[in-house]
């Protein structure tokens, strides 16, 4: 339970600077745009680092 959670919520989630009322919860238009772009970007990007299931070969050894 961090006691500074309330204080942290007043800050820009991207860079941690004190947020601006105009661009809240961000500190500036730059950070707000950056966040929008991030969401936009993730919408197009397909997650490729999905580990395939069944990768048990490493722990399995044949008993000859
Ligand atoms: Zn910021």
What are the beta bridge partners of residue 11?
A: 18
Per-residue pLDDT reduced to its tens digit, 5-29: 555 568 999 999 999 999 999 999 9
Q: Is residue 7 part of a domain?
A: no
Region 37-61 average pLDDT? 67
Q: H or E element: which one contains 36?
A: helix 29-44
Q: Is residue 23 part of a domain?
A: yes
Residues that place a CB less than 5 A from ion ligand 1:
12, 14-15, 17, 27, 31
Q: Is residue 49 part of a domain?
A: no
Task: Give pTM, 2 decimals.
Answer: 0.49
Q: Is residue 6 part of a domain?
A: no
52 belongs to an annotated ligand binding site = no
Q: How far is CA 25 from CA 16, 20, 37, in A?
A: 10, 7, 16
Q: Is residue 57 part of a domain?
A: no
Q: Is residue 63 part of a domain?
A: no
**Which pLDDT value is given to residue 43?**
73
Comparing C-alpha atoms, which of 9, 14, 17, 50 is closest to residue 34? 14
Q: How many independent structural domains does the chain possess?
A: 1
Q: Is residue 33 part of a domain?
A: yes
Which domain, by its residues, includes 35?
A: 14-42
């Amino acid at each position: 339970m961090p006691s500074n959670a309330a204080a942290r919520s007043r800050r820009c989630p991207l860079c941690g600077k004190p947020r601006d009322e105009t661009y809240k919860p961000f500190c500036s238009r730059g950070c707000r745009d950056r966040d929008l772009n991030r969401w936009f970007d993730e919408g197009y990007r397909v997650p490729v680092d999905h580990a395939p299931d069944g990768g048990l070969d490493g722990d399995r050894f044949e008993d000859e």
